[in-house]
A = this chain, B = another copy of it.
Amino acid sequence: MALMCDVQYGQGSSGFDLSKVGVSGVRKPVVLARPGINSPDSSVVVCSFDIFVDLPARQRGSHLSRNVEALRAVAEESVSRPYSNLEDLATEIAKILLEKHEYAQNVYVDVTAEYFRPSVTPSGRSTTESCILLAGAVGHRGQGIMKKIGVRVTGMTACPCAQQTVGEMLNIENPGFPLMSHNQRNVCTIILQHDDGVHIEADDLIDIAEKSVSTPTFELLKREDEGSVVINAHTNTRFVEDVVRNGLTLVVKNYPHLAGNTFVKVCSDSEESIHKHNAYAERTATMDDLREEVAKNIIAE
């Protein structure tokens, strides 16, 4: 039976262009060419995909099933030919979508995935820590595709201001060790979007995020490790503002080869222990902007 229904191709009653049409929250495991816990050559990553294209005024509906078909094709291909990373996989989906949706000018693919990374506690115990990968691809027909690579890492911040206040209130001068402060979970997000051919490694961004907070955190801490984490946090007290600026500093320093139009976003969300609400800071900028600010600072000093 040949179903005639193609309501999607009919003209919409209103004729407005749409910025984004597609599917969101599609869950799908993919295979990456990285060591995994059940294979030295490949690892499985469970992803959530948001996949959109634009839609011109003349067409009523976007063919949403094509988005899922593109995702399935790429995910299945990953089984026999694992992708190196999620942003390459997202880029491949974006390319297919521009072919499948002949009417679309723009394509947006976003991938979120949980990632388990080997880590080491202060005393050298090995652990595995969970974080979130935020990858993607944004394409404009005829202008190439920008890759997005990001991480969301939960660490800990201890507050520098409360620490100083406590010292003043208790009249403690130069105790020779860090004083108490409030400390809490801090979620640090770093995202880069660029159209260079260069590869940015998610592990490096995780390192940057973990260096930007007061201390990384760990799933397993025996007594001495727990003490070290607390001491480290209070030795490296950080506002949300500090976390973001530390992240920006390391991004500028570690990626001198990235093009000036690279988009950078760093944010820090602190689940305050002394409040029921969060403290938050973010910076969005191009790499050019950030480099210029670094240059200004060097001159100022």
Contact = CB atoms under 8 A, between A and B. Distances in A.
A164 B60 CA distance: 15
Nearest to A167: B5
Contacts of A222: 65
Contact of A181 (B18, B180, B185, B282): B180
A22 interface: yes
B282 A130 contact: no
| Interface size grouping (class) on chain A | 35 or more
A162 B22 CA distance: 17
A184 B273 contact: yes
Given A18-B283, A20-B280, A282-B20, A224 B165 contact: yes
A271 B185 contact: yes
Given A37-B31, A245-B18, A271-B271, A276 B129 contact: yes
B166 A230 contact: yes
A29 B43 CA distance: 11
By secondary structure, the A interface counts as mixed
Contacts of A15: 245, 293-294, 296-297, 300
Interface of A: 1, 3-5, 7-8, 12-29, 31, 36-39, 42-44, 46, 50, 52, 55, 57, 60-62, 64-65, 68-69, 72, 79, 82, 114, 116, 128-130, 154, 156, 158, 160-162, 164-166, 168-170, 172, 175, 177-185, 217-224, 226-231, 233-234, 239-242, 244-246, 248-249, 269, 271-285, 290, 293-294, 296-297, 300
6 contacts: A14-B246, A26-B277, A28-B128, A65-B221, A154-B276, A156-B273
Closest 5 CB pairs of A and B: A14-B245, A165-B227, A15-B297, A180-B180, A5-B164
